[in-house]
A and B are shown apart, each in its own frame.
Chain A
Amino acid sequence: MKSSDAEVKYPPNVMVTGVSKSFGALKAVNQLSLLVERGEIRGLLGPNGSGKSTTMKMILGLLKPDSGNINVCGIDVRVKPVETKRVIGYVPETPFLYEYLSASEYLDLVGVAYGLDQTERKKRAGELLQALQMDKHVNEVMSGFSQGMRQKIALIAALMHKPKVLILDEPLNGLDPRSARIVKEILHRLAGEGVSILFSTHVLEIADAICSKITIISNGSTIAEGTSQEIKTIAGLKGSTLEDVFLKLTGSEDTAKVVEALKL
């Protein structure tokens, strides 16, 4: 964030207040509250099925919360879903691209949906394609793309309209080390420009390295929140890794016993 901006107190770009969501008898998200400030990279961690993806989808307006409020850049998601989507860039856990389109045709469609003209699309997508070494594949039909290539196209599609909020569900899945490093640096740069990033990952080293704040959720509720150091302190494991802290907080410390019981 620029120093002059830092002095001015902006409201958080993402404000989730007391949100709940159930699927039948399953309470996926329970009274969850979450703030993501401008320029913040917020890691959203939790075991499988803890409600991370559901929370992200509710912020994007893909799922309707049963209760609570969600506000993105001052826009109520429920009242103005199209306007909300305009300021968000989203990379789902599995990128569902139109496989029968070429990368170029797909990026055109996404760029036009975000209101980018031809010059802007050429500039923004062209730079990102080159950075992620996808420029040579841009005119290939995406059905033959590997998981990593699809992930790169999904990332480019999410970044090309310069979103104010980025929602990234496991964005580094399948990326080669070079591309993963580039994406991390892009995220840091975007955060520096005031973009709010909500980032979900199961690779806790990555979360520790790039997130300015972390929220750990379990069974749909927040169980810890703060910087990596603050969370370690809360867990009483100050000198430990984030992985140890995560396992303790989510009650999954019995990994050694589980493996032992397998008798492999």
Chain B
Amino acid sequence: MRPRLIITLASAFFKSYFRSSQRASVSFFSKPKVMLVIDIALFALPALALQLIIGSFPADINATLAPLIVQAMISLPILMTSAVIVSGLMFELGQGSAISSSEAVNWWPVSPREYVAASALSTSSLYSAFLALSAGITLPLALKFELFYLWPVCMLLSILSLLLGAFIVEILKAIVNRVSSAAYKKRGRIALAARLVALVVLFSIIQIAFQPYFLYWFLGGIMGGIDLAWVVPFLWSSSAMVSLLRYYTVQAALYTLLSFLFTVALYELASQLRRRYWSPVPISIAIAESGEYIPQASIGRGFGFSSFASLLALKEFRALTRRKDLARYIAIPVVMSISLLLPMIASPGDMSGRGPGFFLAAFIPLIVPLMFTTISIGQEGVSIMNLLSLPVKPNDLIKGKLTPALLISGLMSFAVIAVMELLAPLGLSNVLATGAISVMALVTNSFIGLGVGSRWPDYTVGSRSRYVTLKGFIVGFVLSGLATLTVFAPVGLYIVTSGGVRGEAPFLGLELLPMLSISIVLGSVLIFLSYIFCKKGVDSLLSNR
């Protein structure tokens, strides 16, 4: 182990995160020293501000704050771990195998232990701002409520948990590589489909396991029954905090020691996995037995689709199902739907579930098509040259790119509406109206997404790529948010005021049909405007204007 090498490597990984996508706006932050200054500021400013005003808090606020600060300090270590894992899943695991295998570090004389230590250190540094801010907020409050004896231990355990999360990300990287390698050894399309399912299930399980709803449930469990928490190693750090709070110092020391040993064990496991699956070599996979070129018959003509638009749509589906970095985008809506449906699943028949249910019905047509279409140009990476050099008509590109997004988000929207109706019924007419305006929102947001994606693509395909510039992301989100709100507002207003959401009596006397008509008229106008926005973006992309 060469500590200097580890620090140098970690610094290089840290810089590459900010510089890989050539985002000028973040280049200022691309130095570890700058990040350190930011961390110090994030600690010092809230700490000073709170220290100045804390004396003037009224007694009733203090009474509310005291248990909250205890809960926060107990939760902080496990929250650090979950934050790193969830972000790590979205970014670290998003990179393609070709990039992982061509990383220069693979052929340098760097041992697996050194690599894992450096990679985990750089990942942890990226989230250090969150820890610094938490430290700055909790310190004056801990002093005020005479909980300072908890604070240093909380910080120590949080740093340890940050590293723990980073090691788990390293382990997951190796598992994903293993899944990919296993798929590559098999022949045919089934192997590709199996790999996609395995990745989506893995992403979904991890994300849901570290979802706040579950964490809250777990933490509630610790507070209620500390004796049971020893079976969950991830909770040992929080258990140490609870033990210390109760002045069980030996137990606290034991849990702290166990947390440390668990982190070391995961580091060792990550190193061993790295040694074994050090590089996901992109081995070729045959998808058919035949060695002969048999061109596909022209498909999909009709419904206004040319053969090329159909093949382009097929290519987009293949990209989503075959590229590891895009599998996470399929996992996101799955996780999102499950997370939002959880309260309803936990208590079926409870009418209060209609609120999140209707929110979800609007949320899916906003987020899912927007996500798939904004990335649809940038995810091409350097291969965009194919589309730019081929004689592609703008309308063919629009149809080819939008079809997968519309199909996936459409299926997801209707599935969510159906589940919502089963668990907390809104009534058939309300559901049909929600379905109709969902379709309008889906189409509008798909056009907006592609318009944004073609105007502000980020072609960086690699670690932490997001395929659209920050500006594009913000513009797309704002435009789609406004469009969805506009389309859903009239029907939503009717459903809320007619008591549909909470099972109350109607109080505005609105009728569904007129409100639905308003939604449809607004939706039609928005579809037209968003199409123009999309067409202009695609035109300028293809003709280089």
Q: Which residues of B contact A122 (CB under 8 A)?
A: 293-295
Smallest CB separation, A249 vs chain B (Å): 31
* Interface band, chain B: 35 or more
Looking at the complex, which one of A90, A125, A138 makes contact with B291 (CB distance below 8 Å)?
A138
A126 CB–B CB distance under 8 Å: yes
**In the bound complex, do residue A90 and residue B292 qualify as a contact, i.e. CB atoms below 8 Å apart?**
no
With contact pairs A92-B385, A108-B295 given, residues A113 and B392 touching in the complex (Cβ less than 8 Å)? yes
With contact pairs A82-B392, A96-B382 given, residues A139 and B295 touching in the complex (Cβ less than 8 Å)? no
B residues 204-238 near A (Cβ < 8 Å) are none
Q: Mark B444-456, 1 if CB is under 8 A from A, else 0.
A: 0000000000000
A residues 75-115 near B (Cβ < 8 Å) are 81-83, 85-86, 88, 90, 92, 94, 96-105, 107-115
B25 CB–A CB distance under 8 Å: no
A203 CB–B CB distance under 8 Å: no
Q: Which residues of A contact B411 (CB under 8 A)?
A: none
A1 CB–B CB distance under 8 Å: no
A141 CB–B CB distance under 8 Å: yes
Smallest CB separation, A251 vs chain B (Å): 32
Looking at the complex, which one of A63, A108, A110 makes contact with B296 (CB distance below 8 Å)?
A108
**In the bound complex, do residue B383 and residue A96 qualify as a contact, i.e. CB atoms below 8 Å apart?**
yes
Smallest CB separation, B298 vs chain A (Å): 7
B282 CB–A CB distance under 8 Å: yes
Smallest CB separation, B15 vs chain A (Å): 24
**In the bound complex, do residue B391 and residue A98 qualify as a contact, i.e. CB atoms below 8 Å apart?**
no
B393 CB–A CB distance under 8 Å: yes
Q: Mark B277-318, 1 if CB is under 8 A from A, else 0.
A: 000001111111111111111100000000110011001001
With contact pairs A107-B293, A118-B297, A129-B293 given, residues A144 and B285 touching in the complex (Cβ less than 8 Å)? yes
Q: Which residues of A contact B290 (CB under 8 A)?
A: 139
With contact pairs A101-B318, A118-B296, A140-B285 given, residues A83 and B391 touching in the complex (Cβ less than 8 Å)? yes
Q: Which residues of B contact A112 (CB under 8 A)?
A: 298, 307-308, 311
Q: Which residues of A contact B544 (CB under 8 A)?
A: 61-64, 81
B542 CB–A CB distance under 8 Å: yes
With contact pairs A113-B391, A140-B285, A144-B282 given, residues A98 and B319 touching in the complex (Cβ less than 8 Å)? yes
Smallest CB separation, B299 vs chain A (Å): 10
**In the bound complex, do residue A138 and residue B390 qualify as a contact, i.e. CB atoms below 8 Å apart?**
no
Q: Which residue of B lies closest to A94 (CB)?
A: B382
A residues 26-47 near B (Cβ < 8 Å) are none
With contact pairs A112-B308, A118-B297, A139-B286 given, residues A81 and B390 touching in the complex (Cβ less than 8 Å)? no
**In the bound complex, do residue A60 and residue B287 qualify as a contact, i.e. CB atoms below 8 Å apart?**
no
Q: Which residues of A contact B543 (CB under 8 A)?
A: 61, 81
Smallest CB separation, B261 vs chain A (Å): 40
Q: Which residues of A contact B311 (CB under 8 A)?
A: 108-109, 112
Looking at the complex, which one of A98, A103, A143 makes contact with B315 (CB distance below 8 Å)?
A98
Q: Which residue of B lies closest to A144 (CB)?
A: B284
Looking at the complex, which one of A62, A88, A100, A142 makes contact with B385 (CB distance below 8 Å)?
A62
Smallest CB separation, B28 vs chain A (Å): 21
**In the bound complex, do residue B391 and residue A86 qualify as a contact, i.e. CB atoms below 8 Å apart?**
yes
**In the bound complex, do residue B292 and residue A110 qualify as a contact, i.e. CB atoms below 8 Å apart?**
no
B64 CB–A CB distance under 8 Å: no
Chain A binding surface, main DSSP class: helix
Q: Which residue of A lies closest to B97 (CB)?
A: A143
Smallest CB separation, B302 vs chain A (Å): 15
A residues 128-159 near B (Cβ < 8 Å) are 129, 135-145
Q: Which residues of B contact A101 (CB under 8 A)?
A: 315, 318
Smallest CB separation, A126 vs chain B (Å): 5
**In the bound complex, do residue B295 and residue A141 qualify as a contact, i.e. CB atoms below 8 Å apart?**
no
**In the bound complex, do residue A105 and residue B385 qualify as a contact, i.e. CB atoms below 8 Å apart?**
no
**In the bound complex, do residue B295 and residue A135 qualify as a contact, i.e. CB atoms below 8 Å apart?**
no
With contact pairs A61-B543, A141-B285 given, residues A99 and B98 touching in the complex (Cβ less than 8 Å)? yes
Looking at the complex, which one of A100, A121, A129 makes contact with B319 (CB distance below 8 Å)?
A100
Interchain CA distance A130-B462 in the complex, whole Å: 34
**In the bound complex, do residue A135 and residue B291 qualify as a contact, i.e. CB atoms below 8 Å apart?**
yes
Q: Which residue of A lies closest to B283 (CB)?
A: A144
Q: Which residue of B lies closest to A120 (CB)?
A: B295
Q: Which residue of B lies closest to A58 (CB)?
A: B544
Smallest CB separation, B325 vs chain A (Å): 10
Q: Which residues of B contact A86 (CB under 8 A)?
A: 391
Q: Which residue of A lies closest to B312 (CB)?
A: A109
**In the bound complex, do residue A114 and residue B284 qualify as a contact, i.e. CB atoms below 8 Å apart?**
no
Looking at the complex, which one of A60, A135, A139 makes contact with B389 (CB distance below 8 Å)?
A60
A residues 144-199 near B (Cβ < 8 Å) are 144-145
Smallest CB separation, B341 vs chain A (Å): 32
**In the bound complex, do residue A96 and residue B386 qualify as a contact, i.e. CB atoms below 8 Å apart?**
yes
With contact pairs A82-B393, A96-B385 given, residues A141 and B322 touching in the complex (Cβ less than 8 Å)? yes
B residues 318-355 near A (Cβ < 8 Å) are 318-319, 322-323
Looking at the complex, which one of A88, A96, A145 makes contact with B284 (CB distance below 8 Å)?
A145
B508 CB–A CB distance under 8 Å: no
B68 CB–A CB distance under 8 Å: no
A117 CB–B CB distance under 8 Å: yes
Interchain CA distance A102-B311 in the complex, whole Å: 13
With contact pairs A85-B391, A97-B383 given, residues A105 and B315 touching in the complex (Cβ less than 8 Å)? yes
Smallest CB separation, A85 vs chain B (Å): 4
B246 CB–A CB distance under 8 Å: no
**In the bound complex, do residue B389 and residue A90 qualify as a contact, i.e. CB atoms below 8 Å apart?**
yes
Interchain CA distance A149-B264 in the complex, whole Å: 45
**In the bound complex, do residue A81 and residue B542 qualify as a contact, i.e. CB atoms below 8 Å apart?**
yes
B388 CB–A CB distance under 8 Å: yes
Q: Which residues of B contact A136 (CB under 8 A)?
A: 291
**In the bound complex, do residue A141 and residue B308 qualify as a contact, i.e. CB atoms below 8 Å apart?**
no
Q: Which residues of B contact A143 (CB under 8 A)?
A: 97-98, 282, 284-285
Q: Which residue of B lies closest to A101 (CB)?
A: B318
Interchain CA distance A126-B290 in the complex, whole Å: 13
Looking at the complex, which one of B293, B297, B318 makes contact with A135 (CB distance below 8 Å)?
B293
Q: Which residues of B contact A117 (CB under 8 A)?
A: 298
Q: Which residues of B contact A103 (CB under 8 A)?
A: 293
Q: Which residues of A contact B385 (CB under 8 A)?
A: 62, 92, 96
Q: Which residues of A contact B293 (CB under 8 A)?
A: 103-104, 107, 122, 125-126, 129, 135, 138
B interface residues, Cβ below 8 angstroms from A: 97-98, 282-298, 307-308, 311-312, 315, 318-319, 322-323, 381-386, 388-393, 542-545
A-B contact pairs, 21 of them (CB 8 A): A62-B385, A82-B392, A82-B393, A92-B389, A96-B384, A98-B383, A99-B383, A102-B286, A104-B293, A108-B295, A109-B308, A113-B308, A118-B296, A125-B295, A126-B293, A137-B291, A138-B292, A139-B288, A140-B284, A141-B285, A143-B284
Given contacts A83-B391, A109-B315, A141-B284, 12 further A-B contacts (CB under 8 A): A62-B389, A90-B389, A102-B287, A102-B288, A105-B296, A111-B295, A112-B308, A114-B391, A135-B291, A141-B287, A142-B284, A145-B284
Which 5 A-B pairs give the minimum distances between C-beta atoms? A144-B284, A100-B322, A139-B288, A85-B391, A121-B295
